[in-house]
Amino acid sequence: MGWELVSVDPDLGTIEVAFQAGPQFTNPMGMTQGGFLAAMLDDTLGPALVACLPDGQFAPTVDLHVQFLRPAPPGRFRGRGRVVRRGRTMCFLAGDLFDGEGRIVATATATAQIQTLTGPADS
């Protein structure tokens, strides 16, 4: 999907990324299939948090709620994500996905769990 970092502010917990969805991502109606839009949002929200974490930590998504707001023709999309609340181990994230015309096509909230990388013997 061509993930591209546009901007990130670790202090604010915000990120903007871009994606490119070609015709191979469309449904029978010629619109970008919702699963790809959800993946784009997941790939927007997670990095907003990861940019705030120290080396050695990561944060897999525990749940993701997506609302599809309008049909999304293939093309360039921009995702804007933010950390809503960061706890010691659980974080709440939110974000929006915009089409090439700047119209919001989907929105999402997610929960992520902060984890520390461990060596192969510890897993």
CATH number for the domain harbouring residue 41: 3.10.129.10
Q: Total domain count for the chain? A: 1
Quick check: 74 and 41 in contact, CB under 8 A? no
Both structure tokens of 115 = 């984890």
In this structure, is residue 123 part of a structural domain? no
In this structure, is residue 52 part of a structural domain? yes
Residue 22 sits in which domain range? 4-118
Euclidean distance between CA atoms 77 and 106, whole angstroms: 11
111 closest CA partner among 55, 14, 45: 45
In this structure, is residue 38 part of a structural domain? yes
Predicted pLDDT at 121:
54
Euclidean distance between CA atoms 45 and 41, whole angstroms: 6
In this structure, is residue 107 part of a structural domain? yes
Predicted pLDDT at 92:
98
Radius of gyration of the CA atoms of the chain, in A: 15
In this structure, is residue 37 part of a structural domain? yes
Mean pLDDT, the chain cut into blocks of 10 residues (123 residues total): 93 97 95 97 96 94 98 97 96 98 98 88 52
Quick check: 89 and 53 in contact, CB under 8 A? no
